[in-house]
Chains A and B, each alone.
Chain A
Amino acid sequence: MPGLILLKNGRVIDPVNGIDQIQDVLIVDGKISAVVQPGTLPEQVGLVYDLAGKWVVPGLIDMHVHLREPGQEYKETIATGTRAAAAGGFTAVASMPNTKPINDNQTVTVFILAKAAEAGFARVYPVGAISSGSNGEQLAEFGELRQAGAVAVTDDGLPVGNSQLMRRALEYAGNHDLLVISHAEEMTLSHGGAMNDGALATRLGLRGIPHVAEEIMVYRDLALAEFTGRPIHIAHVSTRESLSLLRRAKEKGVAVTAETAPHYFTLTEKAVDGYNTLAKMNPPLRTEADVAAIREALRDGTLDAIATDHAPHGELDKDMEFDLAANGIIGLETAVPLTLRLVRENQLDARRMVELLSVNPARILGVPGGTLSVGAPADITVIDPEKKFVFTEESIQSKSKNSPFLGWELQGKAVLTILAGRITWGQDTFSS
């Protein structure tokens, strides 16, 4: 029977419904039809997967990716980027507006959605620009962006340097129910820096980006969120003191959420040594103390989400002098194994992992998903937490291969990704 899939014997982790036990999940016509004790469903005609030893979780949502299309299709297209998302276990991604042209108007938003629908690998939630051209001067047309399908606004890649503009963005976003996402960076302090400020930068002769460059802007944006009474989301948090500021704001009841990326809880600035441009990113990789603080904040709820900041770049952008190389790494296909490292080290439990990668991103963006409730669209990720593999260029589905994790032996990956009842990844590799 078409449109019918039975996922048998998997460990269903569905925090919203308080489920963490072995269950069978039945999918009918793209929707979740039943989540029940194994063996209680009558034999079905259709696809049947025995998922003993696997995790069945709500489809993962990456709230921070760069899909590069339109404009930089040599790095990534919406099709290749969403294919990488499916391969990494994601059923939805939020795409940042720094395309060429910038997604600061409804036409670009409509284009992105059309391309995403054509590719069919994942839901794409376009994020519009805060300022027209992301040049920090005039507000972009939030109303039309929202009508066309944008879910949030940011000038990501660049901070909003002008505090008055950020205040107005927060205020005006309220008219259109758009989330404002902050790329927190005080540019006069980061000032052309190429890596974390400190002894290693001094030894390598590279200009440093001090952690206060992030923290000053985190503080400003938290203050503006409190002042305007509007929610704000802080992107790619990388420093210990940013987390202290977030913790304090949350205690005061400021409507703030925040994300970090797997590289910030996995790597330190040492990855840059030898002028490794695959470890060059903004914000830069920080220190052991920052990594420890980020892990703690993922546990205690100071951080709400793990987002990859998937930033594809080609050799043209990376194979050069360190100062000149582009910032960013791909992340969609390593997020699950890198987060599972924290689970294996007992720094996170599986439920918290699902909250960080699915439940909370859906809630923060105000989009469907994040649950396995009966009747919900069947966006489901199946994770094999034990599967070991070496991360190689050949395995990467993204068009770009810029990852500092190349050659790493990783454990745990998405083996089956289901989008609205359709298998987007794992059909071949995972036998039913």
Chain B
Amino acid sequence: MTSEYRFTHKHVLGLADFSVEDIQAVLQTAESFKEISSRSIKKVPTLRGKTIINFFFEPSTRTRLSFEVAAKRMSADTFNISNSGSSTVKGETLIDTARNLAAMNPDCIILRHPRSGSARLLAEHIDASVINAGDGTHEHPSQGLLDLMTVREAKGGIAGLKIAIIGDIAHSRVAHSNIIGFSKMGAFVTVSGPATLIPPGIEELGARVSRSVMEAVDGADVIMALRIQKERQQDPLFPSLREYAKFFGVSQNVADAASPEAVIMHPGPINRGVELDPKLADGSRSVILEQVTNGVAVRMALLYLIMGGD
């Protein structure tokens, strides 16, 4: 990173907008902030007086709490709105709701929304910073960054690593942000899963596609299993969860084909026994809970970089 580098993003809408230097800046900042969470007094005054609204249109435990913990550890004031409690259920549009929130002068709105592009739409209509906490099947940049941080910690670097992402690539914003992020940082990403769940042109985001899970994980340094969304079962994407687990689940057998030091990741929540063998999820190679811990640090870093600079 050159000494002139400055993180200049006002919004965090997707890793597609981030340069390698931007990603390095977030990871370095996150690594330095991680220690705060292990203190007995887990709070610094950095974002005192800042107002952050968590605006979640989809159910979320991990991400919403992670952002809230991150903000509070930085001394920001946080407020949570969920879909059921918002005026959108009364017919208000996303833009109107956002403008009303903006009129209360928040510094940052963190949006989780089922429609792709919604975070960008919000950013176009309000003055506050917007962090995309997952928009439809587009991106989930803070998840991508925490995954990068976790791999960098576990492996000492990212460039040159072989990353295998297995499962529902088509509907996974996590997969999209990870493919973009890991390939930008010089890793080789291979995706695999039922062909019905591999979207057209995914190669253009930076991934190689493999028909076979065993081939995809061959010699991999990282195996990431993705959640199968059972609610998508009405579209005939695969025959049954049973068959999915047998042919596309990350089992001990699959893990054995990877590098002996390979780490196992999952963005959660896990369907145990479907996309991931429980023994692997809980085993010594799993860094799944590290992902959650690092999520707080990455989100502290993002909040700091977009709001703390002034």
Contact = CB atoms under 8 A, between A and B. Distances in A.
Nearest to A200: B201
B117 A203 contact: no
A199 B200 contact: yes
Contacts of A90: none
Given A321-B121, A322-B117, A198 B93 contact: no
Contact of B139 (A200, A205, A274): A205
Contacts of A390: none
B115 A323 contact: yes
B118 to A, nearest CB: 5
Nearest to B120: A275
A203 B115 contact: no
A319 B95 contact: yes
B205 interface: yes
Nearest to A275: B117
B93 A205 contact: no
A201 B136 CA distance: 12
A144 to B, nearest CB: 39
B142 to A, nearest CB: 16
B201 A202 contact: yes
Contact of A320 (B93, B202, B204, B235): B93
Given A319-B95, A320-B93, A323-B136, A202 B200 contact: yes
A322 B200 contact: no
Contacts of A245: none
A406 interface: no
Interface string B229-259: 0000001000000000000000000000000
A205 B136 CA distance: 7
Interface string B209-233: 0000000000000000000000000
B116 A206 contact: yes
A159 interface: no
Interface string A68-107: 0000000000000000000000000000000000000000
B96 to A, nearest CB: 10
Interface string B187-206: 00000000000011111110
B16 interface: yes
A197 B95 CA distance: 27
Nearest to B170: A202
B115 A324 contact: yes
A391 B138 CA distance: 33
Interface string B161-183: 00000000010010010000000
B-side interface mostly: mixed
Interface string A194-221: 0001111111111110000000000000
A322 B113 CA distance: 12
A191 B95 CA distance: 26
Most buried by B among A191, A321, A324: A321
Nearest to B171: A205
Contact of A205 (B94, B117, B204, B235): B117
Nearest to B205: A203
B11 to A, nearest CB: 14
Range, interface on chain A: 20 to 34
Contacts of A324: 115
A205 B176 CA distance: 9
B117 A199 contact: no
B176 A198 contact: no
Contacts of B138: 204-206
B137 interface: yes
B173 A202 contact: no
Nearest to B115: A321
B200 A201 contact: yes
A314 to B, nearest CB: 13
Contact of B94 (A206, A208, A274, A321): A321
A362 B173 CA distance: 50
B68 interface: no
A208 B173 CA distance: 16
Nearest to B203: A199
B277 interface: no
Given A275-B121, A320-B95, A205 B201 contact: no
Interface string B90-132: 0001110000000000000000010111101100000000000
A203 B204 contact: yes
B173 A320 contact: no
Contact of B116 (A198, A319, A323): A323
A425 B72 CA distance: 64
Contacts of A206: 116-117, 136-138
Nearest to B172: A205
A202 to B, nearest CB: 4
B201 to A, nearest CB: 2
Nearest to B204: A199
A352 B205 CA distance: 42
Closest 5 pairs between A and B when the two form their complex, measured CB to CB:
A199-B201, A205-B138, A205-B116, A275-B117, A321-B115
Given A199-B200, A205-B136, A321-B115, 10 more contacts: A197-B200, A199-B202, A199-B204, A201-B201, A202-B202, A204-B116, A205-B139, A275-B117, A320-B121, A321-B118
11 contacts: A199-B203, A201-B201, A202-B204, A203-B205, A275-B120, A320-B93, A320-B95, A321-B115, A322-B115, A323-B115, A323-B116
Interface of A: 191, 197-208, 274-275, 319-324
